[in-house]
Chain A
């Protein structure tokens, strides 16, 4: 069973099925997994943190608020904090030549915020496919926690 996780949403499950995002651009997908309990959770965030706009109430929109909440939800579903590991995908940047050169683009900021928030929570990042100038489609298998990433014009990778 494949479930799609839309922007600003998350999903938590156990042992079977796939969580998927098609056409991921500068957004970042965080996939948490505990191999012993086979509990996994995936969040699809759009922005680094609530300072980026006027709707701080949207918890799942931002890396800094979505990640702690996703950790709690996976634990509630049976994962153990100490066994959780993370994989990160996304943070691409298209149209680079139209962006100001003196500041990081939103994709880079999303990835940096996700890494920092995971580090603060003590969760190890064991795989990443981030950055670049191309979009990605993401398939997170709950049977083993692996994440397959497809990109237009590139061989797929598995992390």
Chain B
């Protein structure tokens, strides 16, 4: 496993491109769902020890709505969709076609709409990867948690990591534009270490 802890520049670039294509598709889907402009940042790719992973995406102390899905098929791993809690609330209200201040409670209907959104966005992300890499990718059912970002990240890495000493993180931040700073989130792909080679091979990085 040691060989994949240090990625070469070429490999990092390939993974960034992969994340960019996936997140680009997801952002397009989100934009069409909400009828708003969605911008994505340049993806960040990190390979870090589990001790540091809780702070590797977003702000560890902010409350987020997180939807986790397994990724199965030619590559395995997990997809994690994070919305700032405020963003998740507003998004649910948009999708449910409600007044912005109608509800402050993250109830069953809101949760269900966020999970459904995550289904669509993750589907779009994986479709982007499928087209780019020629791989078959299948998402699992989604699971939602609303909690501190750091707690969600560490729990995800530790419960599902096959090798639990380090994690590979493809993180792309997105934001609604125009919108307040809270109207943002992250598309995160967490490939299993064994799948890293599959991605790089499919991307033809030698």
Contact = CB atoms under 8 A, between A and B. Distances in A.
Contact of B150 (A9, A23, A61, A95): A23
B138 interface: no
A8 interface: yes
Lowest 5 A-B CB distances belong to which pairs?
A135-B151, A23-B150, A25-B155, A25-B151, A23-B148
Given A7-B50, A22-B61, A54 B165 contact: yes
Is the contact region of chain A dominated by helix, strand, or loop, or is it mixed?
A: loop
Given A7-B50, A46-B50, A137 B148 contact: yes
A123 B149 CA distance: 33
B197 interface: no
Contacts of A23: 54, 60-61, 147-151, 154
29 contacts: A7-B50, A7-B154, A8-B49, A23-B60, A23-B61, A23-B147, A23-B150, A23-B151, A24-B154, A25-B54, A25-B154, A25-B155, A25-B158, A26-B158, A27-B154, A46-B164, A47-B158, A55-B49, A61-B50, A93-B159, A94-B145, A95-B68, A98-B68, A98-B140, A98-B143, A99-B159, A134-B147, A152-B63, A153-B146
Interface of A: 6-9, 22-27, 46-47, 52-55, 58, 61, 92-99, 105-107, 133-137, 152-153
Classify the interface of chain B: helix, strand, loop or mixed. mixed
B104 to A, nearest CB: 13
Given A22-B148, A94-B145, A46 B155 contact: no
Contact of A6 (B51, B141, B145, B146): B51
Interface string B30-67: 00000000000000000001111010000011010010
Contacts, number: 115
Given A23-B60, A152-B146, A95 B141 contact: no
A98 B146 CA distance: 16
B1 interface: yes
Nearest to A96: B143
Given A133-B145, A135-B150, A95 B156 contact: yes
A94 B163 contact: no
Given A96-B143, A135-B148, 17 more contacts: A6-B51, A22-B148, A23-B149, A25-B154, A26-B159, A27-B154, A53-B164, A53-B165, A54-B165, A55-B49, A94-B151, A95-B145, A98-B140, A98-B141, A134-B147, A152-B147, A152-B148
A95 B159 contact: yes
